[in-house]
């Protein structure tokens, strides 16, 4: 994505602030889209993955700290990316806790369903059949 920014600056002659704001807008859109796809479709595999959103927020904070004028399009786009990533994290944490209690992923490994009292292995212990 950032190679397109370099291409737009040097070959198309656009301003750096314009292309940076556009790239940050795309970055924010990708972050929001990933949140919905992750929550709706990839929940089984990415339920406990939280590192995406703090990294995006840290990146946006670095851009805001470097920007001198907070009313520039780059700072506004970075603030929107920061807000969307923090909001996604704030929504994801309670959602993961709720889904862990309502629909646990590995219930067959943690809670035995049946106990067969007839099967023993010579030591007098009871074998659990899952």
Spatial distance between the Cα atoms of 22 and 18, rounded to a whole number of angstroms: 6
How do beta strands 114-116 and 127-129 pair?
antiparallel
Strand ranges inside 1-130, DSSP E: 114-116, 127-129
CA angle, corner 18, sides to 58 and 14, nearest 5? 135
Q: What is the pTM of this model?
A: 0.72
Q: What is the pLDDT of residues 31-68, one digit of tens each?
A: 999 999 999 999 888 888 889 999 999 999 999 998 88
Query: 89: pLDDT confidence band, cut at 50, 70 and 90?
Result: very high
Q: What is the pLDDT of residues 11-24, one digit of tens each?
A: 777 787 788 888 88
Residue 110, pLDDT above cutoff 60:
no
């Amino acid at each position: 994505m950032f190679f397109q920014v370099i291409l737009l600056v040097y070959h198309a002659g656009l301003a750096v602030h314009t292309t940076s704001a556009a790239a940050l807008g795309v970055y924010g859109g990708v972050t929001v889209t990933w949140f919905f796809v992750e929550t709706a479709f990839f929940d089984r595999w990415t339920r406990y993955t939280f590192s995406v959103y703090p990294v995006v927020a840290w990146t946006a904070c670095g851009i805001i700290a470097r920007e001198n004028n907070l009313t520039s399009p780059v700072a506004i786009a970075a603030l929107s990316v920061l807000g969307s990533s923090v909001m996604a994290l704030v929504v994801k944490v309670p959602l993961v806790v709720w889904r862990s209690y309502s629909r646990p992923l590995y219930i067959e490994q943690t809670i035995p369903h049946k106990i067969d009292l007839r099967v023993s292995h010579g030591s007098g212990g009871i074998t659990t059949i899952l």
